[in-house]
Structure 1
């Protein structure tokens, strides 16, 4: 009888372990893209120019020449393909030291793809804001909502099927106005009728083609964010 009870107890404990294990999400906050150090060194080596406009983020930001797109010589691209919020925080001092006029931030979709909890991503957003505020008080901070993705392209499967995280973070980003941050709501401008990234604006369901950056440009110009 005792043996049977012990056996049942062991089965119950194993079941709880398996159930808990299934809910455990692992993530690596130390991940940095291969060219991370090389690009950061390149950024640091660039001369400091007064009234820079810094575009800070991952490959979606890196995917265009902002100075040409916006006809703004002072626009500087600080996008690194594959970067996450932890990587942005690690290299943020380079941006702060420039005392830029404006900083435009789009980051987080790679965090989502790497299963970094929403709470940590949001915490990092707030740290980015606080550090810029402290180190460069006159800099205007603009935070973009995350873009939708389009799973029909079947290119970046780790980024797909996580729309609830995008929606949650976008709702939280919109609340950042309470921190005197200008929120630029890109998300609805890139959304199709099925709540996916508009196919005519992307090459792979995640990254934009020139037509996508034209939409982005129009949002910035019509919103008066470049003045």
Structure 2
């Protein structure tokens, strides 16, 4: 005989046997790493180095050692000029970066390309990144001395000028502490050794922290 009490007990057992759903906060996925694309030439790509010694790899390692959840994407191509960087910007943006480090111009300087063209190319790159909402660190470069003082002045001045115009974080000289030091460069005297890359990372790190902190302030993300 089915009684009211047995029906209630059956309903209670069914309820208790049902799936137990976690609270909404427990189901939220962890935040994704901050994606930084390093858009550059051979100095970024890691020319002549093992893959794990390239600038993006060493920079990511240094940032993760500080507890920062980041992924640094190697978008360096050996031999690239600012025109080449501009031409492949869509490819770099396909990586969906949150931030960018732009290290381009060394090959323009070595080839004696008119600094006005270099500046125009970089300006277009920075404008595209601005429109995409991607924070930028501009890594400056210094001209070789063999093209004269006028070229040197025009070339060296374009990087801080562009960084200021676009509100980018500015690191004055990518090869600071490495250029002119034979023990930190490969036999060609142009490309850093693994030890040279470590010097670059250590010196640029405060500027990258500034870039990340700006991103955190803008998005509400938290970084150590």
Report TM bin, short chain: 0.5 to 0.7
Aligned to 2:181: 198
- 1:54 aligned residue (20, 37, 51): 37
Question: What SS does the aligned partner of 1:213 have?
Answer: helix
Pairing partner for 1:117 from 111, 114, 119? 114
How big is the shift at 1:180? 0.8
1:182 corresponds in structure 2 to 169
Q: Distance in 1 between matches of 2:109 and 2:205?
A: 29
Aligned twin of 1:142: 137
The answer to whether the 8 A contact 2:142-2:155 is kept is: no
How far is 1:208 from its partner?
0.6
- Contact kept? 1:53, 1:76, Cα under 8 Å: yes
Work out whether residues 148 and 163 of structure 1, in 8 Å CA contact, stay in contact via their aligned partners in 2.
Answer: no
The two structures have a TM-score, normalised by structure 2, of: 0.63
Question: How far does residue 181 in structure 1 lie from its aligned partner after superposition?
Answer: 1.2
Residue 166 to residue 57, structure 1, CA distance change in 2 (3 Å) = farther
Tell me the distance in 2 between the aligned counterparts of 1:76 and 1:57.
11
In structure 2, runs of 5+ residues without a counterpart are 1-31, 47-53, 65-69, 213-224
Of the candidates 76, 83, 86, which is equivalent to residue 80 of structure 2? 83
Residue 129 of structure 2: SS of its match in structure 1?
helix
Q: Does 1:70 align with 2:81?
A: no
Q: CA RMSD in A?
A: 2.6
Residue correspondence of structure 1 range 9-28 to structure 2 within 5 A: none
Q: How far off is 1:66 after superposition?
A: 1.7
Contact kept in structure 2, 1:103 and 1:140, CA below 8 Å: yes
